[in-house]
Amino acid sequence: MKRRSLITLSIAAALTIGTLPTWGGSANAASLSELKEKKESISSEKKEVNEKISTKESEINENISTQKDIKSEIAAIDTKTRDTENKIQEKAAEINETTAKVEKLKKEIAELKKKIEERNELLKERARAIQEKGGSASYIDVLLGAESFGDFLNRITAVNTIVSADQKIMDEQKSDKESLESKQKEVEEKLASLKDAKADLESLKQELHSQKEQKAALFKQLEKQQATLEVEKEKLESHASELEAIEAQIGGEIQAEQARLQELARQKEKEAQAQRQQASNSGGGGGGSVATPAVSAGTWTRPASGRVTTEYGWDTLNGSSRYHWGTDIAASGNVPIVAAADGVILKSHYSSSYGNVVYMTHSINGQMFTTVYAHMSGSSVSAGQYVKKGQRIGTMGNTGYSFGQHLHFELHVGAWNAAKSNSVNPRQYVSL
């Protein structure tokens, strides 16, 4: 867990400064077991990040679904609000209509009151007439005062007419009063009911408005939450991409380290054979074996012992002017050629111009370099092999287009190409 935490911190730092950490390819290259352990930790963390991405996607989808539900609820509230407003308008129209009826009824009541007053005056007049005739006269006295039978009949008819008229007045009085009370009660009850219904609708409208505001606030909050989730998802995806790149880088270094280990035994055997050859070979140039050059401090070191016979740049060869794309180092005897810096062997083969040649690639402080070692008598390395600075890669020779034993050494800032467009003077980097 402690190692994994360190790796996570390294990744976090890399995400902050925008670069990836380098697990190998330097003087402190990790062992195969360490590389595998780091790769396993990265793979495990990448799995966790992918699970978090999946969780974020689920949260985002759930958030979007909830937003859709709230939009539907807001739409339903709007529809209900419009219906309520229409009902309020209908109730207001009914109230206006009923109020008009009340006003009309008030006029009818006023007229009815006037009729009732008139009937009351008539009844009072009748009562005064009776009092003026003695106060105790009765219809019996009227009938008994008839002078003849014909007069009696006339008196009966008159009495009946008076009685009927009085009874009619009283019946109308009673009926009008009941009608007045009934109409007044009915209209007042209807008006009160309409006002209550309108008040309920107004209250419902206010409640719907409050619900809509709450839903709108929740929708806004969900939108903000979704934006946050999207940002978090993007960060996780970026992190996953960084982890995948690191995993691929470590995988490549594992392959390189495996190739190095596979070649190690063969390389040691070749070196042992070369050493045995040095002991028995006069060196072809009349001298003995030459010691491997001392490894310099820093990134670069001298690739071979000997003297510089041709510098980088314009010179003359066989009477013709030419541009020399490297530096030549010559020495007699069995002269070891070593790697000028840590790197990986790109090619180790024979060329008609370069003879036995080795190409190496180096990654130094984020910059790619390529070195070339030409005209060797033979090499002890192969493509894909990781080589340390100062490690022997071959022996100085006179192969290819060469005039005497020497090392033709080139340095390119970037990749090697036939036009030599990336070529630079090796003295800019290597102390020769």
Encode pLDDT of 198-247 as tens digits: 899 889 889 888 998 998 998 899 989 989 999 998 999 999 888 888 98
- Exposed e or buried b per residue across 110-121, where buried means at least 16 C-beta atoms within 10 angstroms of its C-beta: eebeeeeeebee
Q: How many CB atoms lie within 10 A of CB 393?
A: 23
Q: Where are the alpha helices (DSSP H) in 133-148?
A: 139-144
Domain layout of the chain by residue ranges: 1-129+165-280, 284-428
pLDDT in tens, 348-377: 999 999 999 999 999 999 899 999 999 999
CA–CA gap between residue 303 and residue 295 (Å, rounded): 9
Higher pLDDT, 171 or 238: 238
Percent of the chain topping pLDDT 70: 77
Full DSSP string of 7-64? HHHHHHHHHHHT-PPP-SSSTTPPPHHHHHHHHHHHHHHHHHHHHHHHHHHHHHHHHH
CA separation for the pair 59, 192 (Å, rounded): 53
Nearest to 109 by CA among 169, 172, 182: 182
Phi, psi of 378 (to 5 degrees): 180, 160
pLDDT band at 274 (very low <50, low <70, confident <90, very high): low
Mean model confidence pLDDT for the chain: 81
Contact between 384 and 373 (Cβ < 8 Å): no
**125 vs 131: CA distance, rounded Å:** 10
Cα–Cα distance measured from residue 351 to residue 291, given in angstroms and rounded to the nearest whole number:
27
Least confident segment among 113-122, 142-151, 242-251, 395-404: 142-151
Into which CATH architecture does domain 284-428 fall? Distorted Sandwich (2.70)
**Per-position DSSP letters for 200-254, written without gaps between them:** HHHHHHHHHHHHHHHHHHHHHHHHHHHHHHHHHHHHHHHHHHHHHHHHHHHHHHH
Q: Which residues contact 92 (CB under 8 A, 6 or more apart)?
A: 198
Closest CA to 411 of 373, 355, 367, 378: 373
Q: Which residue has the higher pLDDT, 134 or 174?
A: 174
Q: Which fold has domain 1-129+165-280?
A: Helix Hairpins (1.10.287)
Residue 14 pLDDT > 50, yes or no?
no
pLDDT band at 30 (very low <50, low <70, confident <90, very high): low
The pTM (predicted TM-score) of the whole model is 0.39
Do the domains 284-428 and 1-129+165-280 match in fold? no
The secondary structure of the chain in percent helix, strand, coil, rounded to multiples of 5, reads: 60, 15, 25
Closest CA to 430 of 292, 299, 294: 299
Instruction: Say if CB 44 and CB 50 are below 8 A apart.
Output: no
Q: Are strands 423-424 and 392-396 parallel, antiparallel or unpaired?
A: unpaired
3-class state of residue 315 by DSSP: strand
Confidence at residue 316, expressed as pLDDT on a 0 to 100 scale: 80
Is the distance from CB of 359 to CB of 347 less than 8 angstroms? yes
H or E element that contains 97 = helix 32-132
Question: Averaged over 422-430, what is the pLDDT?
Answer: 97
Residue 365: closest CA among 26, 9, 15, 10: 26
Provide φ and ψ at 302, rounded to 5°: -65, 135
Give the length of the chain.
432
Confidence (pLDDT) at 284? 42
pLDDT single digits (tens) 85-138: 898 898 889 889 888 877 887 787 778 778 777 777 776 676 666 556 544 445
Helix (H, G, I), strand (E, B) or coil at 346: strand
